[in-house]
Amino acid sequence: MIESPGLLVTILAFALVIGPLVFFHELGHYLAARAFGIHADAFSIGFGREVAGWTDRRGTRWKLAWLPLGGYVRFAGDMNPASQPTAAWLALPAEERARTFQAKPMWQRFIVVAAGPLTNFLLAILIFAAFFWAFGAPRTPPVAQLVMAGSAAEAAGIRPGDRIAGIDGEHIDRFEDIARIVSIRPDETLRFAIVRDGADVALVVTPRRIVQADRFGNRYDIGRIGIAPGEQVIERLGAAGIVTESVRHTRDIVVMMVDTLVQVVTGRRSVSELGGPAKIAQFAGQQMTIGWLPFAEFVAMISINLGFINLLPIPLLDGGHLFFYLIEGIRRRPLGPKTQEWAFRVGIAILLPFIVFVTFNDFGLWQRLAGLIG
């Protein structure tokens, strides 16, 4: 087991993850707004009191705040959470008002808001593309060359030489896809479509739950069925193939996130697996200790997480704004200020307890409380 990194390494790693990801997220909003002629009053990395900053020739204040756990771009005319025009906005000269966020049509505001999360996905795609360019992409045939004695696969009737063509209706064209699906579904019944000696065979396989520990002692529940492929095949890709593979890999990670979130909500996966900033800092420091390549992959994963979470239809998040814009597009008019105000109160009521919950998870406080109660 490797000794965990010290506090300074952990803080540095956390800053190298969160800082750039927040910057690129907000830069997505900023660049989309600038393309539509919207003026940005401020571009902030972090919240609270300004530590350092400057004002560019367009009048945008670029600043670094003392609490680097997020950031924002404040557009002219977008002065409240519900993006409702104020009396001050209505009093602006027509030319100046035309450069504000509220003056733009709904579809432009939709793009500006969506650009932040989409930039996070794009950043992850670029990181994965660099990996596939440098190391190639796995293309191991989905054939069970080895079936371990006493395994879930043997119990289900899988034999050496069987080709796995599909799992629960999802087409399988490489062995790596099997591990991706099975690993997050321990103790769940899966329908395998097998090709054996040219004939189609349908089998039901239940991955067994095992506890796996990494080199830092972190423990995870994962599913295993007990098959192994032949020699791993790595394929070098051209430019088009790298882009396609990077997009596919990002999509697969998003699908895994949705699956695991559903498992947590339905009680099939422990809520202890949910983490917040402290957990991100811990893992960031550990990945940096291993090396820059694992750290870069971790940055891509957190970037996808940031994009995914921000697209959830919860008021205060980008997804909440996008949901309101969709309603506005359907109704041909926005929701009333009172309705939006109550929606944002509900959003706060959802997010604040969740933040407290994951913070308790990060520091193991739930286990300590359970020990005290017990």
Distance in angstroms (rounded) separating the CA atoms of residues 97 and 338: 24
Task: State residue 253's pLDDT score.
Answer: 93
Same domain, 290 and 221: no
Three-state DSSP class for 213? Answer: strand
Answer yes or no: do 41 and 99 share one domain: yes
Same-domain status, 123 and 155: no
27/33 Cα distance (integer angstroms): 10
Split into its structural domains, the chain has a count of 2
| pLDDT at position 145 | 94
Residue recorded with tokens 């192994």? 228
Shared domain check, 30 and 17: yes
Is residue 50 a part of any domain in this protein? yes
Reply yes or no on whether 273 is catalytic: no
DSSP string, 60-127: -EEEEEEEEEEEEEEETT--STT-PPPHHHHTS-HHHHTTSGGGS-HHHHHHHHHHHHHHHHHHHHHH
Question: Does residue 182 sit within a domain?
Answer: yes
Spot the catalytic one: 3, 26, 50, 170.
Answer: 26
Instruction: Please answer whether residues 51 and 45 qualify as being in contact, where contact means their C-beta atoms are separated by less than 8 angstroms.
Output: no
Q: Are residues 59 and 22 in the same domain?
A: yes
pLDDT value of position 370: 41
Let me know whether 178 and 120 are in one domain: no
Instruction: For CA atoms 19, 52, 114, 126, give the dihedral sign.
Output: negative
- Distance between CA 206 and CA 292 in Å, rounded? 36
Q: How buried is residue 335: exposed, middle or buried, by Cβ count under 10 Å (0-12/13-18/19+)?
A: middle
**Domain-ending residue, one of 254, 272, 303:** 303
335 within a domain of the structure (yes/no)? no
pLDDT in tens, the chain (374 residues): 556 778 888 889 988 999 899 999 999 999 999 999 999 999 998 888 888 999 999 899 999 988 877 888 988 876 555 555 666 666 677 777 788 888 888 899 999 999 999 999 999 999 999 999 999 999 999 999 999 999 999 999 999 999 999 999 999 999 999 999 999 899 999 999 999 999 999 999 999 998 887 777 777 788 999 999 988 899 999 999 999 999 999 999 999 888 888 887 777 777 677 777 888 888 899 899 989 999 999 999 999 999 999 998 888 789 988 998 898 888 888 777 778 778 878 888 887 877 777 777 666 544 444 444 44
Range of the domain at 106: 7-135+283-303
d(CA 246, CA 180): 15
Evaluate the CA torsion angle 292, 297, 302, 304 in order and state its sign.
positive
